């Protein structure tokens, strides 16, 4: 295994130079033990092609920077060992997100927009009293919130989602999961109707076709299927009597 020669076919395109059409460039590399796509791409950049663009920050599946389509599947490149792949490895940037260049896409802007649309912060009327003891919370509740908060905004669920690929403003599994995170949080004072404003539409919970590509693609193994069902159930129960046309808050 350690003796394999790997062939990388990598998508190249610089949106600032539209006159050069997108193309696939081939690089060859000797596989080493424990090699990940992170290790391989850096080696290619340092030894063969210093112009190659890609993003890594934590190289430990924590920061969500490095998602790309690896042999047809959206995954975290830092968390993908080459030994789990055939010797020909095709790398493409994530679809849906704006391309910055080669394998680098602008997930940051997408996710900030999603946070704004879903007002992803604790809505509370309380102000901080430096002298007071903290309000109590049941540890089980804390853990449940954390479970939903574990999303690292990598975009894998969005890239693989049929709805997100055709509908620009679709919140995607990550967006709906984000809403679930705040619904689970007793500190957030939003009413069901207010949440409905945020996710009770085709751009939110009702746009989802339930094919669950998102669930399979999530590197954090978040229970997306469960969260989608949770939010949809909640929305359906208050949706009776909902007047369309009022719409959801869009940025």
Partner 1 sequence: MSTYKTLITDVLVVGAGLAGERVAVEAASHGLDVIILSLVPPRRSHSTAAQGGMQASLGNCAMGEGDNPDVHFADTVKGSDWGCDQDVARLFVETAPLAVREMAIWGVPWNRVVAGKRTLPDGRVIEEKKEKEGLITARDFGGTAKWRTCYTADGTGHTLQYTMDSMVIKMGITVHDRTEAISLIHDGEQCTGVVARCLRTGDLRVYIAKSTVICTGGYGRLYSASTNAVINEGSGMFIALNTGVVPLGNMEAVQFHPTGMVPVWILITEGARGDGGYLLDKNLYRFMPDYEPKKKELASRDVVSRRMIQHMRKGYGVDSPYGPHLWLDIRHLGAKHINTNLREIANIARNFAGIDPVKDLIPVRPTQHYSMGGVRTNIDGAAYGLKGLFAAGEAACWDLHGFNRLGGNSLAETITAGRIIGKKVAEYTLGATLSYNYELVDKAVKEQENRIKALVNGWNGKENVYELRKLMEQNLMDYVGIFRNGKDLQKAVDNLRELYHRSLKIGLRSNGEGANPELAQALRLPGMIKLALCISYGALMRTESRGSHAREDYPKRDDANWLKRTLAYWPEGADLPELKYEPVKITELPPGDRGYGESSAESQGGKNG
Nearer to partner 1, 88 or 187 (CB): 187
Q: How far apart are CA 204 and CA 179, in angstroms?
A: 10
Single out the residue of 65, 3, 52 nearest to residue 43, CA to CA: 52
Single out the residue of 164, 65, 71, 182 nearest to residue 120, CA to CA: 182
Interacting residues with partner 1 between 80 and 139 (CB under 8 A): 81, 83, 100-101, 106-109, 111-112, 115-116, 119-122, 124, 126-128, 130, 132-139
Partner in contact with 198, chosen from partner 1, ligand SF4, ligand FES, none, beta carbon below 5 to 8 Å by kind: none
Partner in contact with 250, chosen from ligand FES, partner 1, ligand SF4, none, beta carbon below 5 to 8 Å by kind: none
Check residue 229 for interaction with partner 1 (CB under 8 A).
no
DSSP state of 24: E
Partner in contact with 130, chosen from ligand SF4, partner 1, ligand FES, none, beta carbon below 5 to 8 Å by kind: partner 1
Helix%, strand%, coil% for the chain, nearest 5: 35, 15, 50
Check residue 46 for interaction with partner 1 (CB under 8 A).
yes
The residues binding ligand FES (CB under 6 A) are 56-59, 61-66, 76, 78
Q: Which residues contact 123 (CB under 8 A, 6 or more apart)?
A: 182, 188, 189, 190, 194
Interacting residues with ligand SF4 between 16 and 75 (CB under 6 A): none
Pairing verdict, β 88-92 and 5-12: parallel
Q: Give CA torsion, residues 177, 110, 205, 210, to 10 deg.
A: -80
Closest contact distance (angstroms) between CB of 169 and partner 1 is: 18
192-199 helix and 224-239 helix, angle to the nearest 10 degrees: 110
10, 89, 99, 151: residue in contact with ligand SF4 (rule CB under 6 A): 151
Interface with partner 1 (CB under 8 A)? 14, 16-17, 33-34, 36, 45-47, 49-53, 55-65, 79, 81, 83, 100-101, 106-109, 111-112, 115-116, 119-122, 124, 126-128, 130, 132-139, 141-143, 145-146, 149-150, 152-153, 185, 187
């Amino acid at each position: 295994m350690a003796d394999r020669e790997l062939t990388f076919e990598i998508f190249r395109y610089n949106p600032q130079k539209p006159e050069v059409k997108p193309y696939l460039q081939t690089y060859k590399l000797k596989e080493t033990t424990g090699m990940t796509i992170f290790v391989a791409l850096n080696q290619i950049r340092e030894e063969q092609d210093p112009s190659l663009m890609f993003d890594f920050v934590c190289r430990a599946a924590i920061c969500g920077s490095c998602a790309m389509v690896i042999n047809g599947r959206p995954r975290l490149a830092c968390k993908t060992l080459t030994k789990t792949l055939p010797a020909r490895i095709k790398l493409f940037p994530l679809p849906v997100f704006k391309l910055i260049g080669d394998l680098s896409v602008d997930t940051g802007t997408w996710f900030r927009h999603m946070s704004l649309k879903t007002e992803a912060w604790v809505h509370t009327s309380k102000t901080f009293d430096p002298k007071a003891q903290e309000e109590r919370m049941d540890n089980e509740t804390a853990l449940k919130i954390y479970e939903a908060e574990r999303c690292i905004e990598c975009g894998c669920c969005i890239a693989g989602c049929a709805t997100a690929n055709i509908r620009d403003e679709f919140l995607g599994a990550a967006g709906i999961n984000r809403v679930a995170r705040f619904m689970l949080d007793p500190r957030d004072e939003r009413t069901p109707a207010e949440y409905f404003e945020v996710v009770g539409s085709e751009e939110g919970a009702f746009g989802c076709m339930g094919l669950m590509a998102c669930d399979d693609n999530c590197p954090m193994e978040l229970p997306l299927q469960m969260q989608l069902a949770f939010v949809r159930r909640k929305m359906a129960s208050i949706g009776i009597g909902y007047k369309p046309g009022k719409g959801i808050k869009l940025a």
